[in-house]
């Protein structure tokens, strides 16, 4: 079988009606990371996937896997903010209104003010939740898209629209209620397509508040559809994992056999015209070079599309891009080469407007076809498929080498299997943390001053700062000097990494005991 045939087969075989029904059903669950809603979503998936050895593994809340700590159990039941006889904010009627990990509160009347005062509900504060809690405020109100408080925070917080904010700005006091449900455990769904050899891994995070249609009900549904498409193939075993983002994957991976290749699906169904971004293939990290990046890009290029009236010319209006590894989803944790499939930008991401009407069945078909074709081409032992993978890999590596030298050249050669030149031992920076890099855990281990620096950089440029920090951490291999780590991070992220930024971040790692110099 040729790769084009495999792509066409999966594209035709995708059941759009079933997948969209799964997305719609998952949107009804409030999928906080350790909640009754996530348990219900996990059972929904487990009851429907056509896999072997399907189970919902239950993990203790706040357990630890490497540096990843599970969040506390937190199931919101209801919440409200009343001014006089009028209910200004009502959860669950208004999705995303209640901040995650808000404290329970049985109908308390508090002052409403723009000043940071003890016992008050503060409007649009500039201070962080940690600082607000230290000053004894009752809670706060913001117009941000989504709010997540630190676990076990004493605060109550709400996200409101402009009209609600205007009402609260005129109020002197408000009555606030928050009801929470009984504690539950943290579910992770796994299932298997059996076979021989090391497992291939597919992941999609199950969490996020209702509705979170594209992030990530669409990704969960896409993986369910991939299971249906791959069940008639044979070859290497394929493991499927659905769980809360990062922590669920960490809980699974810590005791799992090392996979050979991984594909993560996060935000799979965006209507590109509405949401504003292309389908994105996030390449395998430079330190884990592999043919899987080239294969994913070739599959995207082979995707069936619409054509002109006569059929002579392709007329697709959808687009895709290949980008450097960032690691802002579950593929950051896997110990093997991987690609991440997502859509970015998405103007509705992490807001209550990430609704079912923003999901495109055609785009969900493409993302599902891409994931299924990548894993299917690797799974099936077929000489023609292997030849097509080799052709895609050599063409990709040649183009990559032509685009730049130095470390990029080393990566390109490694993709083709040529050993990189040996580095001289000694004199390099050494990583001391356990398992995959975890920026949140680093922040918890930092001094107050260093944490403030991290928070400020993330606030300035969330995606860019995260990518630079992740690349700097991944560049520490026991051999590279500080200077070389900075250069490697810039080449791997394809971003400018200022020397001052690199030095400051590496200082943070060393001060926290996460790294040192040989």
pLDDT, tens digit (0-9, with 9 covering 90-100), for 462-508? 999 999 999 999 999 999 999 999 999 999 999 999 999 999 999 99
DSSP per residue, 37-86: HHHHHHHHHHHH---EEEEEEEE-TT-EETTEEPPPP--EEEEEEEETTE
> According to the model, what pLDDT value does residue 373 have?
99
> According to the model, what pLDDT value does residue 16 have?
99
Supply the mean pLDDT for the chain: 94
pLDDT(236) > 80:
yes
Contact present, 72 and 101 (Cβ < 8 Å):
yes
pLDDT(126) > 70:
yes
pLDDT(260) > 60:
yes
Nearest to 509 by CA among 427, 451, 456: 451
What is the CATH number that goes with domain 76-180?
Answer: 3.50.30.30
Burial class (CB in 10 A: 0-12, 13-18, 19+), 403: exposed
Instruction: Note if the bond before 92 is cis, omega within 30 degrees.
Output: yes
Contact present, 224 and 22 (Cβ < 8 Å):
yes
pLDDT(412) > 70:
no
Residue-wise pLDDT for 283-315, tens only, equals: 999 999 999 999 999 999 999 987 777 878 877
What mean pLDDT is predicted for residues 324-349? Answer: 98
Instruction: Note if the bond before 216 is cis, omega within 30 degrees.
Output: yes
Beta carbons within 10 angstroms of residue 6's beta carbon: 24
> According to the model, what pLDDT value does residue 208 have?
96
Burial class (CB in 10 A: 0-12, 13-18, 19+), 308: exposed
Q: How would you classify the pairing of strands 76-83 and 186-193?
A: unpaired
Measured CA to CA, the distance from residue 507 to residue 450 in angstroms comes to: 9
Residue-wise pLDDT for 426-475, tens only, equals: 479 999 999 999 999 999 999 999 999 999 999 999 999 999 999 999 99
> According to the model, what pLDDT value does residue 70 have?
96
- Range with lowest mean pLDDT among 126-130, 224-228, 334-338, 346-350: 126-130
* First CA to last CA distance, the chain: 51
Task: Give SS3 for 230.
Answer: helix
Listed by start position, the domains of the chain span 3-70+186-391, 76-180, 429-517
Task: Give SS3 for 98.
Answer: strand
pLDDT(23) > 90:
yes
pLDDT(149) > 90:
yes
Q: Which residues pair with 173 in a beta bridge?
A: 111
Measured CA to CA, the distance from residue 468 to residue 62 in angstroms comes to: 28
Residue-wise pLDDT for 345-357, tens only, equals: 999 999 999 999 9
Token pair belonging to 160: 């409101």
What mean pLDDT is predicted for residues 59-84? Answer: 97
Token pair belonging to 486: 């900075």
Beta carbons within 10 angstroms of residue 85's beta carbon: 5
Contact present, 187 and 38 (Cβ < 8 Å):
yes
> According to the model, what pLDDT value does residue 19 have?
99
What mean pLDDT is predicted for residues 16-40? Answer: 98
pLDDT(203) > 90:
yes
Burial class (CB in 10 A: 0-12, 13-18, 19+), 353: middle
What mean pLDDT is predicted for residues 391-405? Answer: 86
DSSP letter assigned to residue 356? G
Contact present, 432 and 513 (Cβ < 8 Å):
yes
What mean pLDDT is predicted for residues 15-29? Answer: 99
Beta carbons within 10 angstroms of residue 197's beta carbon: 11
Superfamily of domain 3-70+186-391, CATH level 4 = Zn peptidases (3.40.630.10)
**Between 3-13 and 383-402, two packed helices, what is the crossing angle to 10 degrees?**
100
pLDDT(417) > 80:
no
Burial class (CB in 10 A: 0-12, 13-18, 19+), 163: exposed
Q: Who's near 387: CB < 8 A, 6+ residues apart?
A: none
Measured CA to CA, the distance from residue 411 to residue 337 in angstroms comes to: 13
């Amino acid at each position: 079988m040729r790769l084009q045939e495999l792509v066409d087969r999966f594209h035709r075989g995708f059941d759009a009606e079933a997948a969209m029904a799964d997305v719609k059903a998952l949107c009804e669950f409030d999928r906080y990371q350790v909640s009754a809603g996530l348990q219900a979503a996990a059972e929904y998936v487990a009851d429907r996937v056509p896999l072997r050895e399907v189970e919902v593994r239950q993990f203790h809340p706040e357990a630890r896997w490497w540096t990843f700590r599970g969040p506390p159990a937190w199931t919101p039941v209801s919440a409200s903010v009343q001014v006089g006889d009028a209910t200004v904010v009502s959860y669950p009627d208004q999705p995303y209104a209640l901040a995650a990990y808000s404290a329970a509160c049985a109908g308390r009347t508090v002052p409403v003010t723009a000043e940071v005062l003890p016992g008050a509900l503060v409007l649009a504060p500039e201070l962080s939740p940690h600082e607000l809690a230290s000053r004894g405020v009752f809670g706060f109100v913001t117009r941000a898209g989504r709010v997540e408080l630190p676990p076990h925070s004493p605060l109550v917080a709400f996200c409101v629209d402009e009209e609600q904010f205007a009402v609260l700005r005129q109020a002197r006091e408000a009555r606030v209620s928050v009801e929470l449900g009984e504690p539950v455990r943290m579910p992770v769904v796994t299932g298997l397509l059996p076979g021989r050899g090391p497992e291939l891994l597919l992941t999609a995070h199950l969490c996020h508040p209702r509705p979170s249609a594209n992030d990530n009900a669409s990704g969960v549904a896409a993986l369910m559809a991939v299971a249906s498409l791959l069940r008639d193939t044979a070859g290497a075993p394929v493991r499927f994992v659905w769980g809360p983002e990062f922590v669920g994957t960490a809980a699974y991976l810590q005791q799992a056999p090392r996979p050979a290749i991984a594909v993560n699906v996060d935000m799979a169904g965006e209507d590109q015209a509405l949401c504003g971004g292309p389908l994105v293939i996030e390449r395998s990290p430079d330190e884990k070079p592999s043919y899987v990046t080239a294969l994913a890009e070739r599959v995207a290029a082979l995707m069936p599309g619409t054509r002109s009236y006569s059929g002579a010319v392709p007329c697709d209006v959808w687009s895709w891009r290949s980008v450097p590894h960032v690691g802002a989803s579950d593929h950051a944790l896997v110990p093997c080469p991987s690609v991440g499939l997502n859509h970015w930008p998405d103007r509705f991401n992490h807001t209550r407007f990430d609704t079912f009407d923003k999901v495109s069945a055609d785009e969900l078909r493409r993302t599902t076809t891409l994931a299924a074709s990548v894993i299917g081409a690797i799974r099936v032992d077929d000489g023609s498929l292997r030849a097509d993978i080799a052709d895609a890999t050599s063409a990709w590596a040649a183009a990559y080498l032509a685009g730049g030298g130095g470390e990029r050249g080393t990566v390109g050669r490694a993709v083709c299997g040529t050993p990189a030149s040996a580095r001289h031992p000694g004199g390099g920076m050494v990583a001391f943390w356990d398992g995959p890099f975890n920026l949140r855990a680093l922040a918890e281990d930092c001094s107050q001053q260093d944490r403030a620096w991290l928070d400020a950089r993330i606030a300035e440029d969330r995606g860019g700062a995260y990518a630079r920090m992740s690349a700097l951490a991944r560049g520490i291999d026991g051999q590279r000097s500080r200077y070389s780590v900075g250069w490697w991070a810039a080449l791997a992220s394809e971003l400018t990494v200022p020397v001052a930024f690199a030095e400051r971040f590496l200082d943070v790692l060393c001060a926290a005991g996460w790294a040192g110099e040989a």
